[in-house]
Amino acid sequence: MTVPILTNTAARHLFLHKHGLSERPSGAGKGADLSAALDHLGFVQLDSVNTFARAHDLILWSRRQQYRPPALQSLLQGRAVFEHWTHDAAAIPMALFPHWRLRFSRDADRMATLWKEWRRDGFMEKIDDVLRHVTDGGPCSSGDVGTDEVKGSGGWWDWHPSKTALEYLWRSGQLSVAKRVGFRKVYDLTERVIPPEALNARPHVDETIDALCAGALDRLGFATSGELAAFWDTVTPAEAKDWCAAALADRRLIAVDLEGIDGKLRRSFAWPDVMDQAVAPPVKRLRILSPFDPVLRDRKRAERLFGFHYRIEIFVPAAKRKYGYYVFPVIAGDRMIGRIDMKREGEVLNVSAFWPERGVQMGTGRLKSLEAELDRAARFSGCIDVRYGEGWLKRGLDQPG
C-alpha cells in the first residue's frame, strides 16, 4: 500500500494544534480551564530556574495569558494533578495516577541500584526512619529529616542520606507531594494525598502500556515508536515498538511519511483519520516560550519540523556561548522567528538581545508585536517596566548590517 505523506506545513499545523499553540492564548487560566489545558498537554515540566518565570508557569501562560502561578498550586492542592517524574519532575493529570504505578515500581528498582553510585552511602538504611517520621509526624520537607546529618556541599545533587531516602520514597510511590512552599516540596503518605478512586485503581501492565502509548499519540498527532516511549519516559522503547506493531496489524494505526522542513521523509505512526483532519493554520500571535516548552522538548524533532536549532547554554562556558545563558524561543504563527535574552531584575524586565532566525525580517509590524508581548510578559512576571539594552535587536544571519 502507498504510505500517505503528511506535508511539512500540515505536520506543523497539526503539531502546534496538539500542543495548544494554534489558538489565541485566551481562557480563565485557572480551575477547570487550566486543568483542561494541562490534560491537553499531558503534563508540564517543573523547573526551578527563574530568570524570568519558572518553566511550568511560562508553559501555561503562553497558552492562557490570564494564568498566574498560584492557579497551578490550587490544582495540586485540589488533587486535580499530582507531581511525579516523566523525563523530569512534572505536574500530571490525576487521571493518569493509576498508570504511574508502573513507573513507581520501575523507579524503585532503578534508584535502589543507581543511587548507591550517584548519592552518598547510607540512604537505604534511612528509608524506614523517614517513612516512620512522615507516618507519625505528618507532612514534611527535606529540611525536616536528617537534621543530625552532615549537609552536602557538592551542589544540587549532593544530598544527605535522609533527603535521598525521602526522594526515593516519593519516586517509588510511597510518598506524594502534598503541596509546595515556594518551590520546596512538602511530602505526605500517598494514601493521605491521592483521592481514593485514583489510589485504589490497579490497571494491568498491558493496560498501562496501551494507555500511555495511545495518550502520547493523542498529544503528539504523529510519532515514531521511540517518540511515543520518550513522551512519558515510562514505557520502554521495546514496549512502544511492540505496541505500534500490534496496533498497526489491528489497523488501529496507520503508517505515514512525515515531511521535514528539508523535504526529507521520516516514517511515523498516526491515527487512521490523521489525513482527514482539517487543522486550521495557527493564529499569527507572537508568543515567548519556555526553553522547556513541550513543542521543543525533542530538540531534533524541532529541527526537523521547524528548522529551529535550539540548545540551552547554561552549562556552556560564557566565552563559547553563541547566545545568552538562558534564552527564550519566540514563535509567531507556525514559525520559530528567534530567541530572546531577558531577565527580571526587581520590577524591571531587562531585554539584552533578540536574535531573529535566518530569513526572518523584523519589520515595523513584527517589532511592535514583539514589544507588545514583552509588555504582557512584564506584567505576568510582576514587572512595571521593560528596558531594552543598547543594540538589543541583533542582525539576523542573512540580513544586512
Q: Which three cell numbers stand for residue 116?
A: 548507591
Scanning the structure block, which residue is given the C-alpha cell 491515527? 271
User: What per-residue confidence (pLDDT) applies to 52?
Assistant: 92
Pick from 125, 134, 132, 133: nearest CA to 165: 125
Q: Which three cell numbers stand for residue 139?
A: 507532612
What's the pLDDT band for 252 if we cut at 50, 70, 90?
very high
Average the pLDDT over 249-276 and give the result. Answer: 96
User: What per-residue confidence (pLDDT) applies to 127?
Assistant: 86
DSSP string, 91-139: EEEGGGGGGHHHHHHHHHHHHHHHHHHHS-TTTGGGHHHHHHHHHHH-S
For the chain, domain boundaries: 118-200, 203-258, 286-388
What's the pLDDT band for 400 if we cut at 50, 70, 90?
very low
CATH 3.90.550 fits 286-388, yes or no: no
Q: Write down how long the chain is.
A: 401
Residue 388 φ then ψ, to 5° = -110, 130
Instruction: Say which residue, 234 or 156, is predicted with more confidence.
Output: 234
User: What per-residue confidence (pLDDT) applies to 48?
Assistant: 86
How far apart CA 86 and CA 341 sit, in angstroms, is 28
In 43-105, beta strands by DSSP E:
44-45, 81-85, 89-93
What's the pLDDT band for 159 if we cut at 50, 70, 90?
low
User: What per-residue confidence (pLDDT) applies to 65?
Assistant: 95
How far apart CA 81 and CA 343 sit, in angstroms, is 30
CATH for 118-200 is: 1.10.10.10
How far apart CA 4 and CA 274 sit, in angstroms, is 10
User: What per-residue confidence (pLDDT) applies to 155?
Assistant: 47
Pick from 353, 351, 339, 401: nearest CA to 377: 351
Per residue in 124-149, pLDDT tens? 778 888 899 999 999 999 888 856 65
Average the pLDDT over 6-14 and give the result. Answer: 96
* pTM of the shown model: 0.91
User: What per-residue confidence (pLDDT) applies to 398?
Assistant: 45
How far apart CA 21 and CA 291 sit, in angstroms, is 15
Q: Do domains 118-200 and 286-388 have the same CATH topology?
A: no
User: What per-residue confidence (pLDDT) applies to 117?
Assistant: 58
Q: Which three cell numbers stand for residue 256?
A: 505515514
User: What per-residue confidence (pLDDT) applies to 109?
Assistant: 87
What's the pLDDT band for 122 if we cut at 50, 70, 90?
low
Average the pLDDT over 64-69 and give the result. Answer: 96
User: What per-residue confidence (pLDDT) applies to 162?
Assistant: 79
Average the pLDDT over 93-101 and give the result. Answer: 98
How far apart CA 115 and CA 132 sit, in angstroms, is 21
End-to-end CA distance of the chain: 52
How far apart CA 228 and CA 296 sit, in angstroms, is 15
Average the pLDDT over 186-197 and give the result. Answer: 97
User: What per-residue confidence (pLDDT) applies to 311?
Assistant: 82
User: What per-residue confidence (pLDDT) applies to 91?
Assistant: 97
What's the pLDDT band for 150 if we cut at 50, 70, 90?
low
